[in-house]
Amino acid sequence: MKQATVRKVVDLKGHQCPFTFVLTKAHLEEMDSGILEVIVDYPPSAENIPRSVIAQDLGKIISVEHIEGNTYKIIIQKSNGIK
Amino acid sequence: MGGQLPFNFTMEQLQRYSRQIILPNVGAKRQRKLLDSNVLIIGAGGLGCPAAYYLVAAGVGEVGIVDMDTVDISNLHRQILHFTNDVGKPKTISATEKLEALNPDVVITPFQERITKKNVCQIIDKFDFILEGSDNFATKFLINDACVSLGKPFTIAGVLRFEGQMMTVVPGNSNCYRCVFPEPPPLGTVPSCQEAGVFGAVTGLFGSLQASEAIKYLLGIGELLTGRMIIFDILSMSMTIAHTGKNRNCKACGDSPIDLLNSYDYESYDVCELPNG
């Protein structure tokens, strides 16, 4: 039987850079594998989080979606073996 | 943000350690490891004060401090945890007050006593890493021998006038202090505390280096200063890294080690000869 993919959503609205990345990194480190959805309302985080996740090899950016106003959703794939 | 935070951190902890967690080699998992670790500092003096400050600020979960002295006004130009109104107070208490105020996450365990060959093993046994920053050769050799005997990793430094030297030892994997210096220098060959003087910022430099060695060891990152001794002269701004090797005749870790803790006369070197304390 195929194992369901873990999907975790974290709402980081109200936080700014670089703390949004600190929280994203901590959540990714805690996950063995799966999908992390990060919601931010600080527009620079929508650019900075994906860039830092890639730079630190924490996961793969699936998408960055503009929801409304200043709110963005970043979807990150954490794979087995990634630190 | 709802839900439990990763690795059982509080939001305040994530904020406090954020500039450390953000580092590629650290991260939240290793920060948690640091909070679950402990370090023992020998001497709350010129080396021990800055070392303690950085270890506590970094979130090492427990920091033990051994010192039997009280604060003297002549300590204050370099021993940065002690202030003018602490003169006369035991250094362990003075240091504990500042460190507890700095970071309430950390447990400070003071040992207001002289470390001797009778109590050394009992004191160091529970700690993950030992930071030797005492002001005398008796203690330096005692800590080396006890750490080698118990397999405790440690860093050891000494500062005199404008110069300092330091090395890190991981017993079983690197040479020890006694491999480099088989015996303490003969009495009278090294100037006393009162004669030699010490440039305060040099103790800060080496205490900080010692703290970074402890943190690197606990986190399992980088390269330790093992098999090497760093010697830095800040007057000329010249640094030497001397490569050291295992001494097969070393009494502590050579081919035929002896039970130094039960046979060596540390007390005959028990004078303050290095003004870093």
Q: What is the pLDDT of residues A15-25, one digit of tens each?
A: 999 999 999 99
Query: Residue A14: is it exposed, middle or buried by C-beta count within 10 angstroms (0-12/13-18/19+)?
Result: exposed
Contact between B27 and A18 using a beta-carbon 8 Å cutoff = no
Contact between A29 and B7 using a beta-carbon 8 Å cutoff = yes
Q: How confident is the model at residue B193 (pLDDT cuts 50, 70, 90)?
A: low
Angstrom distance (rounded) from CA B162 to CA A45: 47
Catalytic hit among A17, A61, A62, A64? A17
Query: Residue B94: is it exposed, middle or buried by C-beta count within 10 angstroms (0-12/13-18/19+)?
Result: buried
Q: What is the pLDDT of residues B101-117, one digit of tens each?
A: 999 999 999 999 999 99
Which range among B62-71, B81-90, B262-271 shows the weakest confidence by mean pLDDT?
B262-271
Q: How confident is the model at residue B270 (pLDDT cuts 50, 70, 90)?
A: low
Instruction: Return the higher-pLDDT residue of A81 and B76.
Output: B76
Closest partner residue to A25 (CB to CB) among B1, B5, B27 is: B27
Pairing, β A71-78 against β A34-40: antiparallel
Which pLDDT does position B38 carry in this prediction?
Answer: 98
Q: Are B153 and B121 in contact (CB under 8 A)?
A: no
Contact between A25 and B18 using a beta-carbon 8 Å cutoff = no
- Concatenated DSSP letters for B212-239? HHHHHHHHT-S--S-SEEEEEETTTTEE
Q: How confident is the model at residue B238 (pLDDT cuts 50, 70, 90)?
A: very high
Best of A10, A12, A24, A25 to mutate (most B CBs within 10 Å, chain B): A25
The verdict on residue B181 lying in a domain is yes
Q: Among B87, B76, B75, B83, which Cα is nearest to B194's?
A: B75
| Mean pLDDT calculated for residue range B83-97 | 98
| Mean pLDDT calculated for residue range B82-98 | 98
Query: Computed from CA positions of residues B111, B117, B119, B124, in that sequence, does the dihedral angle turn out positive or negative?
Result: positive
Q: Is B277 helix (H, G, I), strand (E, B) or coil?
A: coil
Q: Please tell me the distance in Å from B10's CA to the nearest CA on chain A.
A: 11
Q: In chain A, which stretches have pLDDT less than 70?
A: 1-4, 80-83
The verdict on residue B123 lying in a domain is yes
The verdict on residue B3 lying in a domain is no
Q: Among B154, B151, B145, which Cα is nearest to B181's?
A: B145
The verdict on residue B194 lying in a domain is yes
Which pLDDT does position B194 carry in this prediction?
Answer: 61
pLDDT tops 70 at residue B1: no
To the nearest 10°, report the CA torsion of B169, B237, B195, B178: 20
| Mean pLDDT calculated for residue range B245-274 | 85
Count other Cβ atoms within 10 Å, centred on residue B174: 20
| Mean pLDDT calculated for residue range B146-163 | 97
Instruction: Please give the residue range of the domain that contains residue B136.
Output: 10-269
B-contacting residues of A 46-75, CB under 8 Å? 55-56
* B14 inside 8 A of chain A by CB: yes
Q: What is the pLDDT of residues B17-45, one digit of tens each?
A: 999 999 999 999 999 999 999 999 999 99
Which pLDDT does position A67 carry in this prediction?
Answer: 97
Which pLDDT does position A4 carry in this prediction?
Answer: 67
Which pLDDT does position B186 carry in this prediction?
Answer: 83
* B3 inside 8 A of chain A by CB: yes
Q: Which CATH architecture has domain A7-78?
A: 2-Layer Sandwich (3.30)
Contact between A27 and B6 using a beta-carbon 8 Å cutoff = yes
The verdict on residue B2 lying in a domain is no
Q: What is the CATH number of the domain that holds B195?
A: 3.40.50.720
pLDDT tops 70 at residue B192: no
Number of domains observed in the structure of chain B = 1
Angle at the Cα of B82 (from B81 to B86), degrees rounded to 5? 145
Taking each helix axis from N to C end, the angle separating A19-30 and A43-55, rounded to the nearest 10 degrees, works out to 50
| A17 counts as catalytic | yes
Count other Cβ atoms within 10 Å, centred on residue B268: 10
The residue length of chain A stands at: 83
Angstrom distance (rounded) from CA A78 to CA A83: 9
The verdict on residue B72 lying in a domain is yes
